[in-house]
Amino acid sequence: MKDTVYKYDIPVRTALLADLHDCPFGEIISSLEKRGPELICIAGDAFHRAVSHEEGPVISQSRNMLPFLRACAQIAPAFFSPGNHEWRFTAEDIAAVADTGVKVLDNCFVSFRGMTVGGLSSASYSAHRDYRILGAEHSPCLADGERPGRAEPETDWLADFCSCPGYKLLLCHHPEYRDIYLKDLPIDLILCGHAHGGQIRLFGRGLYAPGQGAFPKYTSGVHGNMIISKGLANTGGMIPRLFNPREVVYIEPE
């Protein structure tokens, strides 16, 4: 694992964490304690995946997520935006996350030290929340074990977010959302994960990313008003992670 530091026009020293996927986190916390960020942004997929489709909370299937979030909250104010791997979370699961001291930003925003910090949830997370709360007649029909098929994230709230004065910081797990939903909005900085650095990197370029396919455009680094983490875990399904170290991203004011 490595620490990656970017200089950017941002009011506070910020750590970007993404894609823990319930892996051990000791190195991550040691890095945070050493560098002392003023704000910790967790851009989705702290959980890995639910293996049961029984009713009730699924976070009990996680060994590391809640201790990880609790440790982050003890270092600095921390915000979490749900990613696609949180898609089966119930209200009870989200309450458990909030009990760690981490603020959950599920298609909403808050004020923090003169900034407005928002979180755009993964479309698959929003679809399952609709199914659970509103009932099957209001959401895609799901067979047992099937992932929800919502095609788009919820974006109506972004108008209110963008109307806020001052610096606007958005957590958004999916970097591919930027060009589709966000590129014309007055957002100062978007923090993402999901791409795992392209999983296999050759000549400084990732080879595959979910939501983007082969030779993806957005896998890591700074792209205008977007910064992407390569992620904190080695998991990639059947695709190994090669030439692509895990990273904690730090964003320092210029």
Cβ distance 209 to 247 under 8 Å?
no
Give pLDDT, residue 141: 45
The pTM for the full model equals: 0.91
> 186 CB contacts (<8 Å, ≥6 apart)?
162, 168
Instruction: Give strand pairing partners of 227.
Output: 191, 222
Q: Count CB atoms within 10 A of the CB of residue 7.
A: 11
Q: Which helix (H) or strand (E) holds 39?
A: strand 39-42
Give pLDDT, residue 130: 61
pLDDT digits (tens, 9 = 90+) for 70-91: 999 999 999 999 999 998 888 8
Higher model confidence: residue 226 or residue 54? 226
CATH (domain of 48) = 3.60.21
Alpha-carbon distance of 249 to 181, in angstroms, equals 24
Task: Give the CA dihedral 107, 226, 83, 12, nearest 10 degrees.
Answer: -70
For 138-202, the DSSP string reads GS----TTPPP---S---TTHHHHHTSSS-EEEEES-TTHIIIIITTS--SEEEE--SGGGSBEE
Domain extent for 155: 2-253
Higher model confidence: residue 91 or residue 142? 91
Number of domains making up the chain: 1
- Taking residues 94-119, report their average pLDDT: 97
Task: Give the CA dihedral 64, 232, 247, 252, nearest 10 degrees.
Answer: -70
